[in-house]
Structure 1
Amino acid sequence: MCGHRCATASFEDRSPCPFPGWVCSGRPNCARPVWELSMGQQRRLDLAMVLAARPHVLLLDEPTNHLSIALGDELTDALAATDAAVVVATHDRQMQQDLAPWPRSDLDR
């Protein structure tokens, strides 16, 4: 499995990263086994695997953590284009602004 949480993975920990551009940001060492990726890269891989599976529902808690600004923008674009129902919990002001047209529920403590 990739990282610790990726239920959709169909490759071994020692397999090369299947999303090298998105996970490794174009670095030349993207042929490294998944277990050698940094925790941030493993989390990006987890997210990429989930998005590639085209789920019906996405529940995302702080999805832009460990992402560069450019990758956060790409994620927002992907979320806007998906047919899935999406629930996002985020403190990321840029993502909140980008998703402002979406229905919103402010939860009290």
Structure 2
Amino acid sequence: MEGFFIGEKEAYLCDFAEIGIRDNERKIHSFGKGRLILTNQRVNFTSENGVWEESLESIGVVSLSNSVEEFGGPAVLCQFTNEDQSYFWVVRHQDQGEVRKFYEVITKVLDSVEGGFE
């Protein structure tokens, strides 16, 4: 995961990440592989299947999992809450080091966001 700047804001890039949404039955619906960009305000995922973007303010919980059974290997779970809806993004990468870096970076960014997160 490499750092760069968008305007005056630092951002982080992870190419060839895989992202999906985990439903209430814990099944993962994949959006495919693509590019994940994280800034101090938003997380954006772009793949051949479309673009998904969320505000960091809507993140409630971030956790790191190494469950091969549930996720096929290392993954970061980000719980988003919008209006009355709550869902998880599951971020996976073939390189376990990239998963750990993404987890470290997103928790650092969330800790630095004004007011923090719960």
**Normalising by the residue count of structure 1, what TM-score does the alignment of the two structures yield?**
0.30
| Larger helix fraction of residues | 1
| Larger strand fraction of residues | 2
Largest Rg, 1 or 2: 1
